[in-house]
Amino acid sequence: METPNYFVGVDQSKNYFDVVVKNRDGKILRKGKFSTSYDGFCKLEELLFSLSENCLHHNFILGIESTGSYHKTFLKFFMQRGFVVLELNPLQVSNFSKGNTFRKTINDQISAANIADFLIQHYTKFINYKSLSDEHLELRELTRLLSSRNKQITVLKTWLKGQLFRIFPEIFTVTKSVLSKTVLQLLSLFTSPKHIISLSFDEFSAQIHQLQSGRGRKIHINAFKIYQLAKQSISDSSKSLDSVLQDQINLL
């Protein structure tokens, strides 16, 4: 990264973004508010290039906080235009701002100015920074999505085990794999002990056999033992609990 002449702080909200442009000495050269749209992005680009007739992309360093999803459109647009855009950690910017200003009131323009000041103070730490390619950005999004889904699955499994202990606690004595595909299919079909014993043993056994006859590795289930446990269950089941359980099993 070449030494920039202009430091552009961007404070992004849902429909608009505020911009403050400063030089190396921290003097404000330009500021404005733009719509989050193609027209708004182009107007900012025009404003930046109005600073000097000889302005090139490497004369600028843009900084925007990583806040949810709103900043990502801005990030991609200006990176594709050839600008260096840094995706900043909001906590780092916040801590920097607290140590460099005594203002109690913060608005979007002040936030953008603080980001520009952060860039002025810390841009040398990004001297070897290279903008991520579209492929890297997409891979990062997918990785974050995968991480989020894994966390959701963990929470859901913990919740399901708690519900199963209420609805059919005896199932834990049959298998350690209470969240295996086979057991979940069983519980999806028979959401409570009452449901199980509403059938004859032969009817129940036939459905268990059908569950275990499909492809793939299956957990062996003793139909007779489950049926006997269902008859003696201390279940706390109800129609609403059964319905919620089935919904969450389908979600998992």
The 10s digit of each residue's pLDDT in 12-43 is 988 999 999 999 999 999 999 999 999 999 99
Q: What is the pLDDT of residues 137-160, one digit of tens each?
A: 678 778 888 999 999 999 999 998
Residue 38 confidence (pLDDT):
94
- Name 62's bridge partners: 8, 85
Please tell me the predicted confidence (pLDDT) of residue 37.
94
The average pLDDT across 219-240 equals: 84
| Tokens standing for residue 38 | 């193609």
The pLDDT of residue 106 is 65
**How far apart are alpha carbons 64 and 93 in whole angstroms?**
10
CB 26 within 8 A of CB 52: no
Helices 181-189 & 201-211 angle (0-180, nearest 10): 140
For helices 181-189 and 239-251, give the axis angle rounded to 10 degrees.
140
Please count the other Cβ atoms lying within 10 Å of the Cβ belonging to residue 93: 23
Rounded mean pLDDT, 225-245 = 86
Structure tokens at 47: 């404003």
The encoded tokens of residue 208 equal 């268990």
Phi, psi (rounded to 5 degrees) for 87? -90, 105
Residues 237-248 have pLDDT tens digits of 788 888 888 888
CA dist 119 and 160 (Å) reads 47
Which band of pLDDT confidence, cut at 50, 70 and 90, is reported for residue 219? low
- The tens digit of pLDDT for each residue in 105-142 reads 567 788 999 999 999 988 887 755 555 666 776 787 78
Residue 140: predicted pLDDT: 75
pLDDT in tens, 74-112: 988 998 888 989 988 888 888 888 766 655 556 778 899
Task: For residue range 166-202, list pLDDT tens digits in order.
Answer: 888 888 888 778 888 878 888 888 888 888 899 999 9
pTM listed for this prediction: 0.58
pLDDT computed for residue 129 by the predictor: 56
3-state secondary structure the chain: CCCCCEEEEEEECCCEEEEEEECCCCCEEEEEEEECCHHHHHHHHHHHHCCCCCCCHHHEEEEEECCCCHHHHHHHHHHHCCCEEEEECHHHHHHHHHCCCCCCCCCHHHHHHHHHHHHHHHHHHHCCCCCCCHHHHHHHHHHHHHHHHHHHHHHHHHHHHHHHHHHCHHHHHCCCCCCCHHHHHHHHHCCCHHHHHCCCHHHHHHHHHHHCCCCCCCCCCCHHHHHHHHHCCCCCCCHHHHHHHHHHHHHC
